[in-house]
Amino acid sequence: MKPGVGPGDDFEAVVGSLRARVRTAPQVHLLLGSGLGGLERVVEVEEDVPFGEVPGMPSAGVPGHAGHFIFGRCEGVPVLVQCGRLHFYEGHPPWVISAPSRIAAALGVKSSVITAAVGGVDRHLRPGDLMVIDDHINLLARTPLPPPAQAADANPFPDMSAPYDAGLQKAAVEQAARLGVRLVRGTYTALLGPSFETPAEIRMVERMGGDVVGMSVVPEVLTLRARGVRVLGFAMVTNMACGVGMAPGAEGADAISHDEVLEVGNRAGAVLERVIRGMLAGGALSG
């Protein structure tokens, strides 16, 4: 078998080659979505591995997603920082989407912090708000989990009654309070993209109980929970979703662009970085 992340590939060879490149096994996985690039600048870098150097993984292809792994220390904690992610809307198969999180789990991380830029559906939210993800709704119509017969390193039927760890959520809220950072809680809804949602689709999400919308997060959470990793999710509200706050069809109503997402995400990301660094320094993520 050749080294790779696909069905029939030697996945252990991939993990072994990465393990051989680092001196200290990572304890915490940090997945940096749009706007969180600043956090990688404070990591004491031991090894930097582009996605494209991992057999079977493509380079990242979406602006704002750098597409590499950083092994090192942040606030003294051994971390695996995933800078950027891969999306179903890019046309990748499930085993490619799940590969970064699967690699993190195989390298022994105990907890994972997943971040993402989102559109606000709850009308109390505003661009720049930070949300701890309590739960999610999967409208991707697909899964990154392998068929049961191929699930050698995962539970193909993971319990999802509490996908986001309650203890980590509590620690996040407490750390935010210490820093004077406003942190709300809510439900993330995943849609396929890459188009932004229509007003009718947002009304549907609102009636289903979704507070924010995005095009990621859920595949990583499923992958990690199937392998026993504790997950903490943060959503950064970069824009209000289409139809929220203005009448659809009004002049200039809800025109959403990826550039806007990146701009607001950078500002909100700087605040979220303080929360994550505080949790690392206090041992909340590695304990």
- Residue positions annotated with a catalytic role: 34, 65, 87, 89-90, 117, 215-216, 239, 258
The one-letter code for the residue type at 136 is H
Residues 6+ apart with CB under 8 A from 91: none
Short-list 100, 104, 39, CA closest to 73:
39
Cβ atoms of 40 and 68 closer than 8 Å: no
DSSP state of 10: B
Backbone φ, ψ for residue 179 (5° rounding)? -90, -5
CA distances from 179 to 57, 214, 273 (A): 38, 27, 11
Strand, coil or helix: 50: strand
- In angstroms, the CA 21 to CA 24 distance is 9
The SS3 assignment for 77 reads strand
- Span between the terminal Cα atoms of the chain, in Å: 37
As a residue count, the chain comes to: 287
> 71: which strand partners?
47, 80
Contact 277, 269 (CB under 8 A): no
